[in-house]
Amino acid sequence: MKVFDIIIIGSGLGGLVTAAILAKEGKSVLVLEKGKKIGGFLHTFKRDQTIFNTGMNYIGSLEKGGFLYQYLQYLGVVDQLNIKRLDMDCFDEISFRNHQEVYPYAQGKDNFIHRMIESFPENKQAILQYTQALWDYTDKFPMLHLKQYSDGTKNEDYLIGGASEFISDITNNPLLQSVLAATNSLYAGVKNKTPLYVHALVNRQFIESAWRFVGGSMQLAELLSKKIIDSGGEVKNRSQVVKISTNSQVDTWVETLEGHRYFGKNIISNIHPNQTLNMLDDKRIKHVYRKRISGLINTKSFFNIYMVFKPGQFPYYNKNFYHFINDDVWAGTNNKSKWPTYYMFYTNAAKQNQQWAQNASLMTYMDYNELIKWKDTIKGNRGADYESFKKMKAEQLLNLLEEKFPGIKPKIQSYYTATPLTYKHYNGAPQGASYGIEKDHHSIYKSIIMPKTKISNLFFTGQNLHMHGALGVTIGAVLTSSELLGKEYLINKIRQSL
């Protein structure tokens, strides 16, 4: 009977990075994935011979020496990624239905400031204050600047304050407030609730550098999986864990739906903490902790349209578009708002240099409650009324897209849709949650999950910890791995690779 040092449940980015680190450092690792594909939100799919991403639409801080670059360099995968940098002067374009102007997010701190001041010359001081605050807040995160890393006295004042409140405080220009908060769907932002540190971390990493995967984000999952296997680890798909036993290090195991039992000294869960606890019968996990975890609110999910274009009909844009029905850019997570409140639209990169787009992705928020009547149905067998619902929503969203891109609808060869139920099916997130557990700056520690649990050999990793997204999840994986390897040891190993 083989006993692994670590068994990791789930092969999302957090699980794969954690496994790659531990395998690289000599641990015997087994990754178990319930689906037929690894990768979680990294995995891609094909329609009409074109590739679509499921969740990692673009990625930040991959410039040489960047925040994410330093971790992926240590893992030996960064130079193998096929990525292209988005437009330097406008990687995100912000627009509103009731305004003719468009507002660019530019890459590079000085360039971002310059382009924003061009749009709002009368608000120069507020823009300078806003941008500096992003840098000041994020510079307090020791895990971003590893060359200057010091595990000294913790200063967690960066956790204080809300995103929308801060933006309102620095300027009384409502349009500038909306533009500065416009990309809040990157973290499912909630007005007067989302912490400023979440907004700051997400926005700074893309302002530092913004990239698109050429040929899809699955390449990162495949590279990490190869690193795990090359280091002696194992990755098994179609292996849904349904039970966890952590009685002792000599009798710790997980059992899959098929009845296979795998033994390991330590268990790391990359799936939602509540789902993890539901598979675990251990009295060391107190009822009050279970109640707290089960009561946490999850982030909003999305409705997606994946469209395939007729050849040579629609141009490739090397940027993303955020378009809003009105100036309230926070309305999407308000269930009382009229649907849709906005959309994010981008053309996928099939090659480094291209004139025409093969396909594009269009997405907006969707309330899970709209799908309650189908919540117990099976994918592919949800009924004609579900298909009619999706078609109605798709046409509504496409008509809105047509307003900004006149003539785009006749250029679409075919399209496919995904709802929060689709997200839930493929990624296992409760209600199809896009970014895990919702953070609330009013009770910040309640919504932060620590990697270490009350059970000495049970740990968490993934987007439900401190932060979501490629950078947040990767840093979370490092923190989880350091519980087994030692933080000083692991940080030094990563620093030595820079």
Please write the tens of the pLDDT for every residue from 52-89. 999 899 999 999 999 999 999 999 999 999 999 999 99
In this prediction, residue 131 carries a pLDDT of 98
Task: Select the more confidently predicted residue: 150 or 60.
Answer: 60
What integer is the mean pLDDT of 341-370? 96
Task: Select the more confidently predicted residue: 91 or 153.
Answer: 91
What integer is the mean pLDDT of 221-241? 97
Residue 33 confidence (pLDDT) above 70:
yes
What integer is the mean pLDDT of 79-105? 97
Domain spanning 3-44+61-82+215-296+443-496 has what CATH number? 3.50.50.60
Q: What is the mean pLDDT of the chain?
A: 94
In this prediction, residue 157 carries a pLDDT of 66
pTM over cut 0.85:
yes
Q: Which of 62-71, 153-162, 284-293, 487-496 has the lowest mean pLDDT?
A: 153-162
Residue 155 confidence (pLDDT) above 70:
no
Residue 270 confidence (pLDDT) above 50:
yes
Residue 113 confidence (pLDDT) above 50:
yes
pLDDT band at 146 (very low <50, low <70, confident <90, very high): confident
In this prediction, residue 151 carries a pLDDT of 61
Residue 315 confidence (pLDDT) above 60:
yes
In this prediction, residue 68 carries a pLDDT of 97
What integer is the mean pLDDT of 11-18? 97
In this prediction, residue 410 carries a pLDDT of 98
Angle at 95 between CA 395 and CA 186, to 5 degrees: 80
Please write the tens of the pLDDT for every residue from 399-441. 999 999 999 999 999 999 999 999 888 877 889 999 999 999 9
In this prediction, residue 153 carries a pLDDT of 45
Q: Where are the domains of the chain?
A: 3-44+61-82+215-296+443-496, 109-212, 300-434
For residue 249, which phi and psi values (nearest 5 degrees)? -65, -20
Please write the tens of the pLDDT for every residue from 160-175. 899 999 999 999 999 9
pLDDT band at 492 (very low <50, low <70, confident <90, very high): very high
Task: Select the more confidently predicted residue: 311 or 336.
Answer: 311
> What percent of the chain lies above the pLDDT cut of 70?
98
Residue 129 confidence (pLDDT) above 90:
yes
Closest CA to 266 of 463, 34, 459: 459
Please write the tens of the pLDDT for every residue from 189-199. 999 999 999 99
pLDDT band at 467 (very low <50, low <70, confident <90, very high): confident
Task: Select the more confidently predicted residue: 156 or 322.
Answer: 322
